[in-house]
Structure 1
Amino acid sequence: MKTILAAATALTALCAGPALADGDAAEGRRFPAVLTGQAVLPAQTLVDAPADAPEHLRHAGKFTTPDRHRTEALGTVAGKDGLRPTGAGLPLAGQSVQGFSGIKTMPDGTFWSLSDNGFGAKANSSDAALMLHHVAIDWTAGTVDRRETVFLRDPDKRAPFPIVLEGTDTRYLTGADFDVESIQPTADGFLVGEEFGPYLLSFDKAGVLRSATETRIGDRAVRSPDHPALALPADPTKPLPEFNLKRSGGFEGLALAKDGAHAYGLIEGPLFVDGKPETVADGRTALRIAEFDTAKGDWTGRSWLYPLAAGGAAIGDFNMLDATTALVIERDNGAGRAAQGCAGDPKADCFAAPAKLKRIVKIEMNEANVGGAVRKIGYIDLMDIADPKGVARQGSVEGVYDMPFVTIENVDRIDDTHIVVANDNNFPYSAGRQIDKADDTEFVRLEVGEFLAAQ
């Protein structure tokens, strides 16, 4: 009863007029959120590679040793979040169903999501198969049912570079080929945003690659240091190749217009011009949203700027609500609760940089602000979610649920009053819920009717 009363008091305070005015005018209004369901997918959830895949994909994580030398001894490479062991190890006997990065609600109430590139880098993910997942969530039982996994492949040689499994008949794609981070199901397949190029990828329903479109924003080609066309010069006196996006700064968010005519790719990090990140007029660092014509299969040249809040470092996901408004996850790079933060230098028994800014933001992007900054209508705070009925299976303290994960990369609307949110657990590296335990994937359903209705 004490917990319920404490949560009710907190929720009342959130709903009161003055408390909704957190932040400044540029960030919009703060709205309350109430937890109405949570489902947990255990961190070490595995799936076998396809029967026709080469032996190379039977075990994932063989190249995650500090020196990138191969190891076949299962579980011998300890997962760590900074100095903190996570209690999990690599390689794995199978493929890891982890790194959920992008989600889309389907008409029947199920969801499509995807596992991102593997183990965080091109160099260590050549045995991580790229996968899309169709899941159903039982909010009452708190379980996640993986109904289908689609393994991505390139039998028609659409990738514009040699893939890791180039010489095989099946040509499955791996985390050393693409870093897939965002997803939109379409009538005949999937659009997927990735980060190495970055590329906008198109797949059919069976996971066969149909196209890989390089990125342009206006008249600028966008390239990360992992773009396959870039190479270090043979002569150290020669200039380094040019790129204008940080590593892992590509399409973390991909939204689709309600009529399907356009897709919108939101890059995770800013573009750099003359060595400096893009900003808006008031000096805030800004990320680009690029418009893609799905019928033509090319970029329109139009874009918008998404300004980061003070303390914000990146975005995590992006989905349209209607023709002009959308949901965006904005986050810092922190993990863990402040109460367990380190005093002084990082240590193995505390969080070196606790989570502070984890938000779902509602934005407006329209004809009036094309080429300029989107309007931030308001946000909810994922570090302060009311749980008055004790719905959470993990993560609630005195009636307040939080998401202190470094990466939260899934958000979409379920209905007029609810959204789904989930973390990317970066298995086996992220431990934000507990100091020494690899994070599970937590899917939550939040009641945010006022937020969704806000104009």
Structure 2
Amino acid sequence: MRRNLAILACFIATPVAAEQTFPATLAGHAVLPAHTLVTPPADAPRDLWVSGKFTGPARNDAPMSVEGDVGAAYGGHKTGISLPFIGQPVQGMSGLAMNRDEDGSWFALTDNGFGNKVNSPDAMLFFHRLAPDFETGRVERLETVFLRDPDGKVPFRIANEGTDLRYLTGADFDPESIQFLNDEIWIGDEFGPFILRVARDGRILSVHQTMLDGAALTGPDTPGTVVPAQPGADFRVQRSGGYEGMALQPGTDLLWAMMEKPLLVEGGGTEGDFLRVITFDTANADWTGDSFRFALSEGATAIGDFNFIDDTRALVIERDNGEGDAALACAEGATDQADCYPQPALVKNVVLVDTASMDEEGYIRRIGHIDLLDIADPDGKALEGLKPAEGNFTFPFFTIEDVARVDDTHIIVANDNNLPFSGGREIGRAADNEFILLSVPELLAAE
């Protein structure tokens, strides 16, 4: 008993203590090419048949006329893919549902389009059923379901308000996490942040504003937030800081919705190096009133996904804001960054936590993690052209936003490629949607 109390006291004092790093071995690798487009529904407004028209300083109606790049902070590297698109980009996956469809396919979510409300009014919102084939290295898209609000369930004006079918776009929501339960889809949004209940055919059934400690939790992109507004006083959720991960707990059917970034406090600072986790009861369609904390490790700035593997243990992706192989990092003070990464990937972890074990401050216990920048590949599973010149396999993408348990020894991980604004695998080339199958028996067995 004394030993257990000592361990607990240590945990309370340091929510992120030294934790075990477990090995990971590449067991499969599959790719959905970056430039994968889907045709909008025949009844969609004509405006939605060309997407990405508003990603520059002025409207651009000339398809494939402006090449994307990763941004000045990341070296300004071009990505080889140009906007606007004819059709809708399938682009990066922003969440995997824990429960799969009857045929074994994965429910996967595409986010708001091009990064924010202003530049995404012509980016349609949708989810998919995907089937990665780790034998062929390909990812089959079996179905794409477009979100729409024909029954007027969204409690604010949407971009396509004046249409009958009211297809939703990236000007309305930023969907980042997904779960499948009782033949319905639940989606976590970053803008509100909201939770959306969605029919299997894409119809919005209800929209739920986040409540924390009896008050509505809002951000700078929440409808009703008026500029100028004071961060920490008028809103507490950082921009792009809403529900990046939303885990469905087996047995209870509670949604554990996790913020991507720390909440703000008055004055504009954050409340700490931790993320709020707020629980929602799907049976009652309401918040439980409980909230918990996930402590970020040193160097991590955000999370990418969150999924249970059993009744209490869950996987969380935590990451920094870097992209690209650290072996190709720019020298300090380098002015020519054409062939190097000024902010390489340094922290990309899949963390195992136990929601049944918390300290008195509500910190969820971290059990251990795997390092996505150090993956053994003894059998040469990495696809040609998508592995480092030397050393272990790495997953050096800016946003890695998908993780789920496959079986007792394997997990699946995938990236959001922010098309056409992220690279990471190769300088001058847009990142593909990569799916990796990892053998991690020690991680999944850890308690």
TM-score by length of 1: 0.90
Distance 1:324 1:130 in 2: 31
Call closer, same or farther: CA 1:331–1:25 in 2, change over 3 Å: closer
- Secondary structure in 1 matching 2:17: helix
CA deviation profile, 1:393-414 (whole Å, cap 9, x unmatched): 0224446110110000000000
Partner of 2:163: 168
Matched, 1:450 2:415: no
CA deviation profile, 1:330-375 (whole Å, cap 9, x unmatched): 0000011122112224623321101100000000112754751111
- Secondary structure in 2 matching 1:289: strand
Checking the alignment, whether the CA contact within 8 Å between 1:109 and 1:414 is kept in structure 2 is no
Call closer, same or farther: CA 1:147–1:292 in 2, change over 3 Å: same
Distance 1:239 1:430 in 2: 31
Distance 1:256 1:172 in 2: 26
Partner of 1:28: 19
Call closer, same or farther: CA 1:201–1:75 in 2, change over 3 Å: same
CA deviation profile, 1:155-189 (whole Å, cap 9, x unmatched): 01111111000011110000000000000011131
Checking the alignment, whether the CA contact within 8 Å between 2:15 and 2:363 is kept in structure 1 is no
Q: Which amino acid aligns with 2:209?
A: E
Structural RMSD (CA): 1.8
Matched, 1:211 2:200: no
Distance 1:90 1:368 in 2: 47
Worse-superposed segment, 49-58 or 219-228: 219-228
Partner of 1:54: 45
Distance 2:262 2:166 in 1: 33
Matched, 1:376 2:371: no
Distance 1:384 1:96 in 2: 30
| Identical aligned residues as a percent | 50
Matched, 1:296 2:284: yes
Worse-superposed segment, 188-197 or 218-227: 218-227
Deviation at 1:77, TM superposition (A): 2.1
Distance 1:298 1:424 in 2: 30
Q: Provide structure 1 residue ranges, at least 5 long, that are not aligned to the other structure.
A: 1-22, 280-284
Instruction: Give the 5 Å matches for 1:324-335.
Output: 324-335=312-323
Deviation at 1:219, TM superposition (A): 2.5
Partner of 2:355: 365
Distance 1:377 1:150 in 2: 37
CA deviation profile, 1:98-135 (whole Å, cap 9, x unmatched): 12001125164321101100000110000000010101
Aligned positions, number:
422
Distance 1:261 1:444 in 2: 28
Q: Name which of 405, 413, 423 aligns with 2:415.
A: 423
CA deviation profile, 1:274-313 (whole Å, cap 9, x unmatched): 233123xxxxx00001010111111111011011111000
- Secondary structure in 2 matching 1:136: strand
Call closer, same or farther: CA 1:108–1:260 in 2, change over 3 Å: farther
Distance 1:367 1:27 in 2: 17
Q: Which amino acid aligns with 2:310?
A: D
Worse-superposed segment, 395-404 or 292-301: 395-404
Q: Name which of 274, 291, 298 aligns with 1:310.
A: 298
Matched, 1:190 2:185: yes
Distance 1:211 1:266 in 2: 20
TM-score by length of 2: 0.91
Matched, 1:286 2:277: no
Distance 2:305 2:88 in 1: 24
Distance 1:194 1:397 in 2: 38
Checking the alignment, whether the CA contact within 8 Å between 1:35 and 1:447 is kept in structure 2 is yes
Q: Provide structure 2 residue ranges, at least 5 long, that are not aligned to the other structure.
A: 1-13
Q: Name which of 83, 89, 107 aligns with 2:82.
A: 89
Partner of 2:327: 339
Worse-superposed segment, 319-328 or 216-225: 216-225
Matched, 1:178 2:173: yes
Q: Name which of 306, 311, 333 aligns with 1:323.
A: 311
Distance 1:408 1:435 in 2: 18
Worse-superposed segment, 420-429 or 224-233: 224-233
Call closer, same or farther: CA 1:53–1:263 in 2, change over 3 Å: same
Partner of 2:64: 75
Distance 2:230 2:345 in 1: 39
Call closer, same or farther: CA 1:299–1:177 in 2, change over 3 Å: same
Checking the alignment, whether the CA contact within 8 Å between 2:277 and 2:292 is kept in structure 1 is yes
Distance 1:379 1:108 in 2: 30
Distance 1:261 1:327 in 2: 17
Checking the alignment, whether the CA contact within 8 Å between 1:388 and 1:399 is kept in structure 2 is no
